[in-house]
A and B are shown apart, each in its own frame.
Chain A
Amino acid sequence: MRIYHEVIVIGGGWSGVSAAIAAKKAGADTALCERTDMLLGAGLVGGIMRNNGRFSAAEECIAMGCGDLFELTDSIARHRNLDFPGHSHASLYDVHLAEPAVRALLLKHGIALYMEKRVTRARHREGKLIQVESEDGYVFHAEAFVDATGSSGPQGMCQRLGNGCAACIQRCPSFGPRVSIARLMGLPEYMTSRRQDIPGGAMSGSCKIYKETLSQSLREKLDAEGVVIIPVPQDMVNYSKLHSKVCQQYALREYAESLVLLDTGHAKLMTSYFPLEHLRQIPGLENARYADPLAGGKGNSMRLTATVPRDSTMLATGAQNLFVAGEKAGICVGHTEAIVTGALAGRNAALLARKKPLLVIPGTLATGDFIRFSAIDEAGNPAVPDGYGLSASHAFAGSVYFERMKGLGLYTTDQGLVRSRVREAGMEGAFCS
């Protein structure tokens, strides 16, 4: 079957969904291809929004007109203005409600959804992507494409770089692992080089426990307060796991010395994995069972294995019409980061399809600075001289980028100040039409 849309987004995680909405808002006939039977990818088990610098970034997006997904997650938040170690004013969305709500939003916008369409082939010429094909024979033509296929897995990467497949929400064995569109085009792709002892990659930083399996008192406390911190017995403390985490903003000593549980609908345990037998020795968790990964006692998904060089419009280096978003676009982790990079990639794909000049978010805004700062060049080096490139995870919520954000005065929780900054940058409502 042959299908045409002006913009085709491949990958329905937070970044792909954001790209599709932004492309549609820019006026393009837009479709989204997703490998599995649900949208949101790792966002199906995510939940954390608005912590630290993510608050400023979310408010910037709302002021620029690409805040639909932040408003959606605000509307299904279980807890707001929550503090936990190293993080302030977080909100936690209900992971069980997010996917249907996002799907409904996309359909309301008139975006065509192609579910269980795993794209495995691409036809391209001189950097121009002409068509992509799904495993089951659908052929998709477009003027511009967004590669939002992420950087996690495939299962083999989890085996070689991590502790093996832990049966995570990505469900590679069921739907087939992700396939990078950039790679199908022969564009360079890099893994994070944070660690010198393995080739690359980093492990997802949290597992989720069925709340029903917690003790009643622990469950009630978590429901009421949103966060519960339980000290880990000294002989079970494993600092080396911090070293391997995707999310450096949660790679703090507190997260090894304590169990940090957040209420996202599941009890989100802020550690990559924790042996079940040990977990069950901790009061309140005697009957605990993992919801994600199903083998959360053993390991977690490996990520940051497929980052593509690009410019500040999100156009992949060496490509004429392929934009990249989310973890594909840099060592940038988190839903907020995915939504920000996705929105710009989607809008620019639509602008390119309509032969209009591409948009760059000015560096006077946190979102614009983040996009410029987190890019890598064709050789895999930081695209900016003071950048960290592949050697660090970038997130508005912590680690090196939050420090930079604070240093530049871009971090604020003053919504009025954010709006005036966006206005001064000439970006107010820039994503609306």
Chain B
Amino acid sequence: MQPAKSLPCFDAGSEYCPCILAGLGKCISCSMLQGKDTCDCGWNGVCVLAEFVRTGKQARPGREQVTAQVTRLTPLARPQADYKAYLAEIAVPSKLARWCTLPGSFVLLRPEGTREAFNVPISVMETSQHSIKIAVECRGPKTTALEQALLKHRKVVVTGPFWSGLQGYTQLASLAHGNTLVIAKGMAQAAVPPIARYVRARGGNVKTLIGPGTLGVVFIDGILERLGAGFEHMPRTEDRNLGRISDEITTRSYDLLVSAGSKLQHQAILNLLDTISEGDNPVPRFVWVSHLTMVCAEGICGSCLLAGFRGCKARFDESFEVHLLH
């Protein structure tokens, strides 16, 4: 199959589009802005070229950065770990909070006074009118610096909102009224509550199999209970619970499968789905959490490249693209 040249973009139609990539002739969606004569674009429902012309061929500014107060900080109990994790509530402008409601929403956090290289992509678990709730595991240099800022100054620099933390969003939107299975492990649990809320609001059912992963704790069960979403804990097993997941998929009928975990987990589940489909069994559509590799999240740095596309912008919604993960 001819590789796609243009894909739909998470930011199209937002106040951040057209972005700097359009100005550089590198828009991931618009073939005309890439210098072609034809409209073989990754149609977004809005025309990026028309917007670009309307803005006077200027890119719109990127996300705002705000210095925000941490209003609540709760350490997660992790008896056997030598590094810490926290749940935090951060006071943010209401516009930012509202736009972090969608599944896959994340923000970049860094300590005040540090360079953008310290930005950490963090899923937004819950929002209220003026705040967001997040979870962070403090392990590497960036998150350790963030931990110090959280503890000492109770202030962080928040950049956002970004929406590209979940790939397969179109499938989620079209099938959310059905049955959804979420496989969540470790810190990626934090991406699950907005997905569960979205599915429940559309009258769908959602069940989450939660593994503690290396984090060692489950911290979203209370939220899921409140949302009327089913969940089950998965103790760590040698087969990484693939047997349990396989049983769940083959004995019940799921329309969607959301993998909230590492790239290794996504690959293992895709392999599992391939095996199941070989027996002519119906398999759910695959949706995956994808923000973990992001650094700038604005299409510049290339840290999230996937099949030549910037994963922080490009929406991979079709199944053939999913297999690029293999």
Binding site for B on A (CB under 8 A): 155-160, 164-165, 173, 176, 188-191, 193, 195-200, 239-240, 243, 379-381
Contacts and interface: CB of A to CB of B under 8 A. Distances in A.
Contacts of B94: 188, 190, 379-380
Given A159-B46, A190-B94, 15 more contacts: A155-B13, A156-B12, A156-B13, A156-B17, A159-B12, A176-B54, A197-B101, A197-B197, A197-B200, A197-B201, A199-B102, A240-B177, A240-B203, A380-B94, A381-B129
A193 B197 CA distance: 15
B202 A196 contact: no
Interface string B42-80: 001111001100100000000000000000000000000
Interface string B29-50: 0000000000000001111001
B162 interface: no
A291 B91 CA distance: 45
Contacts of A381: 129
Nearest to B47: A173
A380 B44 contact: no
Contacts of A158: 45
A157 B46 CA distance: 10
A198 B202 CA distance: 11
Contacts of B14: 156, 160
A159 B102 contact: no
A191 B99 CA distance: 10
A240 B174 CA distance: 13
A379 B13 contact: no
B129 A193 contact: yes
A160 B51 CA distance: 15
A196 B13 contact: no
A159 B201 contact: no
Contacts of B54: 176
The 5 closest A-B pairs by CB, nearest first: A156-B13, A197-B201, A164-B45, A159-B13, A159-B45
Contacts of A188: 94
B166 to A, nearest CB: 14
Contacts of A189: 95
25 contacts: A155-B13, A155-B46, A156-B13, A156-B15, A164-B45, A165-B45, A176-B54, A190-B94, A191-B98, A193-B98, A193-B129, A197-B198, A197-B201, A197-B202, A198-B101, A199-B99, A199-B100, A199-B101, A240-B177, A240-B202, A243-B201, A379-B94, A379-B130, A380-B94, A380-B129
A158 B44 CA distance: 11
A273 to B, nearest CB: 15
Interface string B101-122: 1100000000000000000000
Contacts of A190: 94
A156 B46 contact: yes
B13 A195 contact: no
Contacts of A160: 13-14
Contacts of A165: 45-46
A301 B95 CA distance: 21
A196 B200 CA distance: 11
Interface string B187-200: 00000000001101
- Describe B's contact surface by its main secondary structure: loop
Contact of A173 (B44, B50, B197, B200): B50
Nearest to B196: A197
B13 A200 contact: no
Contacts of B46: 155-156, 159, 164-165
Contacts of B101: 196-199
A158 B13 CA distance: 8
B99 to A, nearest CB: 5
A381 B94 CA distance: 11
Nearest to B10: A160
Contacts of B44: 159
A165 to B, nearest CB: 6
A18 B129 CA distance: 33
Contacts of A173: 47, 50
A176 B46 CA distance: 12
Interface in B223-259: none
B71 to A, nearest CB: 15
A159 B101 CA distance: 16
A195 B201 CA distance: 9
Nearest to A165: B45
B102 A198 contact: yes
Contacts of A380: 94, 129
Contacts of A379: 94, 129-130
A199 B98 contact: yes
Contacts of A195: 201
Nearest to B15: A156
A199 B129 CA distance: 10
Interface in B126-151: 129-130
Contacts of B95: 189
Given A159-B13, A159-B45, A160-B13, A196 B197 contact: yes
Contacts of B99: 199
Nearest to B50: A173
A381 B130 CA distance: 11
Contacts of B13: 155-157, 159-160
A159 B15 CA distance: 12
B227 to A, nearest CB: 10
B101 to A, nearest CB: 5
Nearest to A200: B98
A165 B13 CA distance: 10
A189 B46 CA distance: 23
Contacts of A199: 98-102
Nearest to A381: B129
Nearest to A155: B46
A193 B99 CA distance: 11
Contacts of A156: 12-15, 17, 46, 51
A196 B198 CA distance: 8
Contacts of A197: 101, 197-198, 200-202
Interface in B183-222: 197-198, 200-203
A243 B95 CA distance: 22
